[in-house]
Chains A and B, each alone.
Chain A
Amino acid sequence: MENKEYQYAESPFNVSRRQFITIGGIVVALLAIPIVWVKYLATSRNDYILARTKGLYRDDEKAKIRVSHANPAVAQYYKDFGGKPLGGLSEELLHTKYINRTKGLS
C-alpha cells in the first residue's frame, strides 16, 4: 500500500557488515566507558564511607572507656561538683541552646 506512494527508497545495504560491527562496537564502548566511570565514582565514594565506618568501629573497640557513665572523670565530676546527672546545676553548666550562626557567614 505504502509502496505505491513512492517509487524510490534507501538501499538496505548502505551499511556493510564490517561497518556495522565497527561502528556498533565503538558506540557500545563509548556508552559503556562513562557508565563504568560513574559506577567507579559511586563505589569509590562508598569506599570512603565504609573506611570511615570501619575506622570508627576499630577506634571504639580499642577504646578503654566506651560509654560516658563508665568514665571516671565524669563520675568524679558528679561526685564532687555536679550532683546528679540531669540535675539543675549540670543542666545549667553543660547544656547548650541553639543559636543561628549562619547569618554571620554570608
Chain B
Amino acid sequence: MHSETMILKHPLSVRIFHYLLIASFLPLAVTGLALYFKPFAEADMNLLMQIHIVAGIILSLDAVAFFLIGFERVILFIKRMFAISINDVKWFSVLGGYPQKFLFKKKVPVPPMGKYNSGQKLFGICVLIGGAILIGTGWILWAFPHNLPRAAVAFFGNLHTFFGLLLTLFLPVHLFLGIYMFDDFKAMIMNGKIPYPEAKTMAPLWVEREIMPLK
C-alpha cells in the first residue's frame, strides 16, 4: 500500500521543457563537437552548421518560453541550486557515495539532500549560467557578428566554445546518473511521479520540507 504512494516530482511544464532540451541539446552537442574538431569535408560541415543553428533556435525558444511562462519555477530552481549548506561539503567529500558504490560495492553514509543532490546542484548551476551564455553568444555569433567589434566577437566565440565543451563533458555523466536513478528517470521522461519511499531515501529534506499531501 505504502509503495503505491506517489509524489508529483516533475510537473508537465517541466517535462515538456526537458523534452525540448533533450531534442535540441543532444544534436547541439554532437554537431558542436564536429564543428570544433572539423573531421568532415566542407559540404558536410556546412550541413552540420545548419543543424546546429536549427537546434540552437529550438533551444533558445524553449528556454525563453519556459523563462516567461514558468518564471516561478525558474525562481524555485535557482533557489534550490544556490541553497548551499555544510551538507553539500560533506556530500562532495564522499562524492555522494557513488564511487564507493560502483568501485567497491560499499555503502557509505551520505548527508541528507533536498530535491537535488549537491552534484545535481553543481550541474544545475553550470547549465543555468553556461546555457544562458551559450544562447546569448550563439545568437551573437550567428545573427549579429558584423554589428560588434571583431575582438568582442572573437571573445564571444571563445566563451561559446568553452561553455559548449564544458556542458558537453557534463552530458555523459548526467545521462549515466539520470538513467542509473531509474525512478527519477521515469519521473522526468514519463509521468512526472516518483514513489514516496524512493523520494524519502534519495531526497529526505525535500520530502520533509517541501512536500504536502493533496486533499
Residues of A whose CB lies within 8 Å of any CB of B are: 3, 5-11, 14-15, 19-20, 23-24, 27, 31, 34, 38, 41-42, 44-45
Q: Which 5 A-B pairs have the closest CB atoms?
A: A6-B6, A8-B7, A9-B8, A11-B212, A6-B8
Q: Contacting A42 at CB < 8 Å: which of B7, B79, B144, B213?
A: B144
The distance from the CB of B184 to the nearest CB of chain A, in whole angstroms, is: 15
Q: Which chain A residues border B213 with CB–CB below 8 Å?
A: 7-8
Contact of A9 with B132 in the complex, beta carbons under 8 Å: no
In the complex, how many residue pairs between chain A and chain B have their CB atoms under 8 Å apart? 70
Is B58 part of the binding interface, using a Cβ–Cβ cutoff of 8 Å?
no
Contact string, B71-110, partner A, CB cutoff 8 A, digits 1/0? 1101110110000000000000000000000000000000
Q: Which residues of B contact A (CB under 8 A)?
A: 5-8, 71-72, 74-76, 78-79, 132, 136, 140, 144, 147-149, 152, 191, 193, 196, 210-214
| Contact (Cβ within 8 A) A23 B7 | no
> How would you classify the secondary structure of chain A's contact residues: helix, strand, loop or mixed?
helix
**CA A20 to CA B7, docked complex, whole Å:** 24
**Residue on B with the closest CB to A37?**
B152
Given contacts A6-B7, A8-B7, A42-B144, contact A20 B191 (CB under 8 A): no
- Complexed CA–CA distance, A44 and B148 (Å): 9
Instruction: Output the least CB separation between A24 and chain B (Å).
Output: 6
Contact indicator B148/A14 (Cβ below 8 Å): no
A38 touches B193 (CB 8 A): no
Instruction: Write out the residue numbers on chain B whose beta carbons fall within 8 Å of the beta carbon of A23.
Output: 75, 78-79
A31 touches B132 (CB 8 A): yes
Given known A19-B79, A31-B132, contact A6–B214 (CB-CB < 8 A): yes
Q: A6-B193, A45-B148, A45-B149 are in contact. Are A20 and B75 (CB under 8 A)?
A: yes
Q: How far is the CA of A10 from the CA of B10 in the complex (A)?
A: 10
A31 to B7, CA, bound (A): 34
Chain B contacts for A34, CB-based, 8 A: 136
Q: Which of B8, B71, B136, B152 sits near A24, CB closer than 8 Å?
A: B71
Q: Which B residues touch A41, using CB under 8 A?
A: 148-149, 152
* Smallest CB separation, A34 vs chain B (Å): 6
* Min CB–CB distance B74 → chain A (angstroms): 7
- Once bound together, how far apart are the Cα atoms of A12 and B132, in whole Å? 26
Interface centre among A6, A7, A11, by most chain B C-beta atoms within 10 angstroms, is A6
**Could you tell me the distance between the alpha carbons of A27 and B79 in the complex, rounded to whole angstroms?**
11
